[in-house]
Structure 1
Amino acid sequence: MTILTPANSFDDVTQLDTTTIAIGGAGGAANTPLQNLCNRTYYLKLRLDGLGKAATTNNYNDLANLPALGSAAYQNTASFASASDGVLARSAVQPSQLSGYGIVNPITTAGDMIIGGSTGLQQRLPAGTNTYVLTMVGGYPAWAASGASIPNVQTITSAATVTPTYSNDVVEITAQSAGLTIANPTGTPNNGQAILFRLKDNGTAQTIAFGTAFIGIGGALPTTTTAGKWEYFTGIYSSADSKIHIILPAAVQS
């Protein structure tokens, strides 16, 4: 008696009718349902064997007898509504394998993130500045300055002109040895954003001048340092007049 040879096919199982003549042999009607069941069993066995290997390697392509990633056959697999469903169903897809589906890996630099952009497609979000936090702006992820207690400090020993930046919280001048001009800050400020100025001369009083963006609140802007003493004053940006309001009087070391 000959053994049935299985085929890799998930067949429908034929039902013999009452009028079917049950003839054996290759292709005989009596053997057709048995061949169908043999084929289905073999089909399932191959896939179970592949699952065992893929579970070890975590690689879709180790799933035996399935279309290769990126192939037209894979994208048209009937079990997926679309090619993108097939991608989502296989967690082991590697970035280098996505191009076969019209998907481009947007990451170019360490620290980048992939986000859903305004068009609904994936796009690159560059790594944020140190201490920045991820937030939502207009419904999309974006980096923003952190409210953490670790300040960004711009430190200068001495300079004729110091230009603050709005990305810093503190401007520190440690040993000013010449007349000082604090220029208008660079960057884009937020309404109510504060900058703390902390300065000290080299033991000799030095003149202080301010850019046009500064105005004094509570008194006139300081015009000189106090020899050998730390001096503190705070500037708060106001979008109402696009000025930095220096809250006075300044605090001077006793």
Structure 2
Amino acid sequence: MIPVSVVIITKNEAETIEKSINATKLITDDIIVIDNDSADGTADIALANGCRVYQKSWGGYGANKNKGSNLAKYNWILSIDADEVPDVELVLALHDLKLDDEQVVYDIKFRSFFGKKRIRFGNWGRDHHIRLFNKKLVKWSEPLVHETLVLPTQIKVAQLTGNINHYSVKDSFECDNKAVYYAKLSAAKHYQNGKRASFANMYLSPFFNFFRNYVLLLGFLDGREGWVIAKTIYKNRWLKYHYLNQMAGSYHKAEHLERDLAVEY
């Protein structure tokens, strides 16, 4: 085991979390699960597999992840989601790390899956994120959605070998639902920040992002799944600004929407 704590945030992840936990057991003896009132036994599965489980009311992705970091036994944090599984190459790379420089963060490549099919092109095929960091210097931002790591200026980024396998969606139905869900969260975030949708946001941005993913980044080579992903990107972009216009033109408040969106991650 190495001095790294794994932090996982969950909401109804019983189908996937055990595979994720089993992989992280090869890395550490400290796995923290921050659960948001799962109703499918997620917390019980995590407890049965030796994790420390804490309940936290929904405060956004970043807030829940920061709580996990604060409760961690070690200063080094590997942050993953319940549908993400480190592969063997990554596990071995983590065991080879000296972890003697807290000013370094580690970027990790992702392999994304649509059902059982690996997606090799488009946005999903190029995915990578900084997921290993020292909590003494690095925290998550705390917006409603699209949380990012707040990196001090002296931080250096290093690339790890290996991958995190991300089992993104089971099927087209789940892919579509996620597009709607994240569009609502993004709209609420923009509304709170005083942003409004322009003509370019509504009509040019969705098309450009579809074209970039499907044509420029060769998403069409992923076949039917590539087409579904590109359409979903278009829908997400359009809906985000559609919902933002609705909020701006009505008496709805983003904080009302925030309370309604603590659903499956």
TM-score (norm 2): 0.21
TM-score (norm 1): 0.21
Which has more helix, going by share of residues?
2
* Bigger relative CO (Cα 8 Å, ≥ 6 apart): 2
> Whose radius of gyration is greater, 1 or 2?
1
